[in-house]
Amino acid sequence: MRPAGQNLEKLGLRDVFLNFLKSEAFGGIFLFFAAVLAMIMANSPLSEMYFNFWHMELGVEMQGLAHAFPFLAHLGAQGENGSIFIGFSMHHWISDVLMALFFLMVGLEIKREVLFGELASVKKAIFPALAAVGGMLVPGLIYFGLNAGTPSAHGFGIPMATDIAFALGVIMLLKSRVPMALKVFLVTLAVVDDLGAIVVIALFYTSTLNYAYLGLALVLICVLIALNKFGIKALSPYLCVGVVLWFAVHNSGIHATISAVALAFCIPVRPKFDLQDFNPHVSAMVDGFVRSKSDDQVFLNESQVKNLRNMRETITMVQSPLGRLERALHPWSAYCIMPLFGFANAGVRLDDGVDFSALLGFDHIFLGVVLGLLIGKPVGIFLITFLCEKFGIAARPSGITWGEILGAGMLAGIGFTMSIFVSELAFKGVENAQQAAEISKIAILSGSLISGVIGALFLLGVAKIKDKVNK
């Protein structure tokens, strides 16, 4: 018989995971509606307003500073009369700044999973990790094989990604028809997939390097590591250094979102106040609060206010800095940043914006992305996990059939957010880059939609077969 505390702990962890699933699923619903609204806007009488809005500049213009302080020219675009504009277009604010917050949250999730979650041990991590590797390699090879020798071959990273919010949104709609173990498998696969996408972006979608800024970025990362090693638990020093790190990485030639991942890996995990000391410490402050009360008291006295402040500080200190930041970022990411990114990037003009005769003829971007998501993802995930189990390298989690693994692989073909993000980087500097990006977006939307529908129907069919077998 297990101790009651252990049952409560397991129940608490299960509740945390279920809350994560539900929030991601609702985020996927918001993301879906944002993408649909973008397509409607892009093909309506409001299309010009929609596209022009994302090119609007938002920032601060400072007059007469370029000549007095030449180094400030690196902060923005230099205009007439020595003015400097510090800012970006609306599209770049979303893709470079807001998405950095999204990548910060992704980095925090990866660190948490590696230290305490499904990736904390080799035994638990190896099966979904290998599945993620197969789900990245095969789609990338399919795309590259179709586009080898063309300028579009650099887009091989587009079909590699999985959109966790959309995939979980679909799987949550199936409710009890899908076992919890499969949901855990898909979440863990997506976390490793996100880590793989970060590596691909850093290695293959980096422009010409500015070594001065790259050196500054490395120094700042060392500062973050030192803050962690010296036991600094407050988040503000890390975030302040992180802002400067974003600027350094942005100007180094590496995509700025990588700075957010580096920052996430340096955020402390351990709280300032140990859990075992929390109860007696707070109890002492509560007792002090009660003892300070008088019979005719109407307002709080100074001693009681001091006790309340100490309790608030202690409650903050007992929480993990990583956990606090992740909880703060998650609703913004799920309900604001990702839908806004989808709304800014999913709008493709279907009348005269894209030459549909070029969909199959413009290299093979469309086929490469669609086949990579639709076929490459499930085949890669299923094949590598099947072989690994047969050779004794890894074993399936209990309660999951091979049919469900294949169905999860189909849902992993929903690439939306990260795929679109990679497509924004993949064709920079390529001739007809705008057309290539538009075709890739149509392919991502098509492949993701088909993957989601087929994956859901397939898992429903597998569930019915399991029910018949178990009767």
pLDDT digits (tens, 9 = 90+) for 356-409: 555 444 568 899 999 999 999 999 999 999 999 888 888 888 878 999 999 999
**Residue pair 322/111 in contact by the 8 Å Cβ criterion:** yes
The whole-number average pLDDT for the span 27-42 is 84
Q: How confident is the model at residue 80 (pLDDT cuts 50, 70, 90)?
A: low
pLDDT at residue number 16? 53
Phi (first) and psi of residue 89, to 5 degrees: -70, 165
pLDDT number for residue 89: 84
pLDDT of residue 299: 73
- pLDDT attached to residue 191: 82
Going by C-alpha positions, the residue among 353, 319, 261 that lies closest to residue 39 is 353
Hunting for tokens 């806004």 — which residue is that? 340
Burial bucket for residue 139 (CB in 10 Å: 0-12, 13-18, 19+):
buried
pLDDT tens-digit profile of 66-77? 555 554 555 555
Higher pLDDT, residue 16 or 442:
442
Same domain for 410 and 389 = yes
Q: Is residue 74 part of a domain?
A: no
Note the pLDDT tens digit of each residue in 116-154.
876 777 777 889 999 999 999 999 999 999 988 888 888
Instruction: Answer yes or no: is 225 within a domain.
Output: no
pLDDT higher than 50, residue 11: no
Contact 155, 424 (CB under 8 A): no
Is residue 2 included in any domain, yes or no? Answer: no
- Report pLDDT for 384: 94
Let me know whether 302 and 351 are in one domain: no
Domain boundary among 298, 318, 338: 318
**Is pLDDT at 6 greater than 70 in this prediction?**
no
Comparing CA positions, the residue from 305, 320, 331 lying closest to residue 23 is: 331
Is 443 found in the same domain as 363? yes
**Same domain for 44 and 145:** yes
Global pTM reads 0.74
H or E, element range at 61: strand 57-62
Q: Give the whole-angstrom CA distance, residue 461 versus residue 306.
A: 61
Could you tell me the end-to-end alpha-carbon distance of the chain, in angstroms, rounded to an integer? 30
User: What CA–CA distance (Å, rounded) separates 165 from 172?
Assistant: 10
Task: Say what the pLDDT of residue 8 is.
Answer: 36
Are 312 and 330 part of one and the same domain?
no
- 360 shares its domain with 296: no
Q: What is the pLDDT of residue 379?
A: 96
The mean pLDDT of the chain is: 81
Helices (H), 43-121: 47-53, 90-92, 99-115
Compute the C-alpha angle 238/240/319, nearest 5°. 40
CA–CA gap between residue 417 and residue 168 (Å, rounded): 13
Q: Of all helices (H) and strands (E), which one includes residue 198?
A: helix 180-204
**Residue-range definition of the domain harbouring residue 374:** 25-58+85-95+123-204+326-470
Number of domains in the chain: 2
CA-CA distance, 67 to 73, in Å (whole number)? 9
Q: How confident is the model at residue 339 (pLDDT cuts 50, 70, 90)?
A: confident
Residue 124 phi, psi (nearest 5): -75, -30
Tens of pLDDT, residue by residue over 81-98, are: 556 667 788 988 888 889
H or E element in which residue 71 lies: none
Q: Has residue 261 been placed in a domain?
A: no
In this structure, the strands spanning 77-78 and 84-89 are antiparallel
Query: Do residue 433 and residue 331 come from a single domain?
Result: yes
My answer on whether 336 and 412 are in the same domain is: yes
Give the pLDDT of residue 457.
Answer: 92
pLDDT of the residue at 65: 53
In this prediction, residue 177 carries a pLDDT of: 80
Predicted local distance difference test score (pLDDT) of residue 81: 58
* Residue 471 to residue 467: CA distance in whole angstroms: 6
Q: How big is the CA angle at 195 (ends 146 and 419), to the nearest 5 degrees?
A: 40
Amino acid identity, residue 432?
A: N
- Same domain for 148 and 40? yes
Q: State the Cα angle at 114 between 111 and 118, rounded to 5°.
A: 125
Query: Among positive and negative, which fits the CA dihedral 9, 15, 21, 27?
Result: negative
Q: Is the pLDDT of residue 78 over 80?
A: no
